[in-house]
């Protein structure tokens, strides 16, 4: 249904979000020195990017699926100005889930001098005919308002709207949102006329939820992976080439962050990340979607 508009003629930008409402807990020995970018963006979010942006494979066997994903990852480029198109932060104390929580450096086992980020965001571009000029924004963080993983495609605005500015004051951008977890499904957001005699256009959602449409429950993520291992079914497992391409994308960003003398910017627990992340996407005329 959407393949004809799955390109830079219609898609304005793409946001891929993986948010967690928990902190690092007792994982100091693992997490300190790793951070959100290495822990989540290099593998999970870049895999979601590849699945979103790849051309349709001729079949879903492992060889053809991996080939299309590798084509996308090999075309991914990061902007040269990492100071303008990346952001990092770490959660400070605050309130989340109705309880007061401590900041990252106050967690047990962490050093006050730690420079590890718990929030990472960056822009990447795909240098291909299909996606040239469409920015992809990736973000991942801990102690955010809610747990959610989603892919949101924002469509370009129509070149002409036969309405006055007041008619469309509350109208945003049409979007297709694929919810990966926890409420698996798809949301299509578009403008609709508010009932009544006045002309007013407002955003509405058309939702599909797996839980609402099927009585069967999906297996847990690792349950599915372990089953595929037992069956010898490899499509969900990236090859070495994909892993290396992921590091080629992320390494320049990590090197830039390592060169900075200042620690990651603090953001209050229960909020959607540091101010620098909102400024980063605002430079391109966009705003982070509120899941």
Catalytically annotated residues = 44
Indicate the helix (H) or strand (E) that contains 70: helix 62-75
| Structure token pair of residue 89 | 């932060």
CA atoms within 13 A on the CB side of 90: 22
Residue 84's φ and ψ, nearest 5 degrees, are -100, -25
Q: How far apart, in whole angstroms, are the C-alpha atoms of residue 67 and residue 71?
A: 6
- Between the alpha carbon of residue 277 and those of residues 16, 127, 251, 259, the distances in Å are 14, 23, 19, 19
Q: How far apart, in whole angstroms, are the C-alpha atoms of residue 287 and residue 242?
A: 30
Q: How far apart, in whole angstroms, are the C-alpha atoms of residue 128 and residue 131?
A: 5
Residue 104 DSSP class = G
Q: How far apart, in whole angstroms, are the C-alpha atoms of residue 41 and residue 51?
A: 14
Closest listed residue to residue 178, CA positions, set 62, 18, 43, 46: 18
């Amino acid at each position: 249904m959407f393949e004809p508009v799955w390109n830079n003629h219609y898609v304005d930008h793409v946001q891929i979000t993986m948010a967690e409402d928990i902190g690092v807990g007792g994982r100091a020995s693992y997490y300190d020195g790793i951070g959100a970018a290495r822990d989540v963006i290099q593998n999970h979010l870049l895999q979601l990017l590849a699945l979103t942006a790849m051309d349709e494979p001729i079949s879903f066997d492992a060889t053809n699926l991996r080939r299309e994903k590798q084509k996308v990852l090999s075309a991914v480029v990061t902007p040269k100005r990492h100071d303008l198109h990346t952001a990092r932060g770490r959660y400070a104390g605050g309130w989340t889930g109705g309880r007061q929580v401590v900041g990252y450096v106050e967690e047990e086992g962490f050093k006050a001098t730690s420079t590890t980020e718990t929030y990472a965001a960056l822009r990447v571009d795909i240098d291909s005919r299909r996606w040239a000029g469409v920015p992809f924004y990736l973000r991942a963080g801990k102690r955010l308002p809610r747990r959610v993983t989603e892919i949101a495609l924002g469509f370009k605005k129509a070149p002409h709207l036969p309405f006055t500015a007041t008619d469309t004051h509350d109208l945003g951008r049409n979007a297709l949102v694929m919810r990966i977890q926890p409420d698996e499904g798809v949301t299509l957001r578009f403008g609709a006329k508010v009932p009544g005699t006045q002309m007013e256009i407002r955003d509405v959602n058309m939702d599909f939820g797996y839980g609402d449409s099927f009585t069967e429950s999906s297996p847990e993520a690792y349950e599915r992976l372990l089953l595929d291992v037992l069956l010898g079914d490899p499509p969900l497992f990236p090859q070495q080439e994909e892993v290396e391409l992921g590091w080629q994308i992320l390494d320049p960003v990590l090197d830039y962050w390592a060169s900075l003398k200042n620690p990651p910017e603090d953001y209050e627990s229960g909020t959607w990340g540091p101010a620098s992340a909102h400024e980063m996407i605002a430079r391109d005329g966009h705003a982070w979607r509120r899941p």
